[in-house]
Amino acid sequence: MPTVGLERRMTALLAGMNAMGDYPMSLVCTEQGLLVASAGESERGEVLAGLTSLCNDILLRAIRDLAFTRVDEITLVDAALGRFVIRPLAQSRAPRLYLVVHVPRQRSWRRNTSITSRKLDQMIAPLFSPEEPPADEAE
């Protein structure tokens, strides 16, 4: 089964991205801010997950009110703390999942978050693929 050890694999992927980009914290959470996987400083995890529900509202309004077809990233910037990058995972539907990364000042993030979000999408795709009907209903 492809979902066995999914949280562990996601956490390992996040830890690798943190090491490559020198990021203190990254996580995957639901649109309501529920933590799915995280790596790095745990004390900020809940705050970052909480930002996600705010950004989910922005994403939904951009699609509804501005007719955006796809939003690939929302970034919040704090002068002292740096960036908080929030990327919706394309393969997720209900609940929508997000990659959230704390990027300190003077660090790049676009390539690392793009690669990581693609890998996360590959990991979660089986969770959101249409279920095959039972054999007796297939006809």
The larger pLDDT score, comparing residue 14 to residue 45, is at: 14
Query: What is each CA distance from 7 to 2, 13, 93, in whole angstroms?
Result: 12, 10, 18
Tokens of 48: 């970052």
Closest Cα partner for 103 from 28, 39, 23, 3? 23
CB 28 within 8 A of CB 40: no
Ramachandran area for residue 88 (φ above 0: left; ψ -120 to 50: alpha; else beta)? beta
Note the pLDDT of residue 43: 63
pLDDT > 70 fraction of the chain, expressed in percent and rounded? 86
CB 28 within 8 A of CB 36: yes
Q: What angle do CA 8, 17, 13 make, to 5 degrees?
A: 20
Note the pLDDT of residue 122: 92
Note the pLDDT of residue 2: 57
pLDDT at residue 66 greater than cutoff 80: yes
pLDDT at residue 134 greater than cutoff 70: no
Query: pLDDT digit string (tens) for 1-13?
Result: 456 689 999 999 9
Question: To the nearest whole number, what is the mean pLDDT of the chain?
Answer: 85
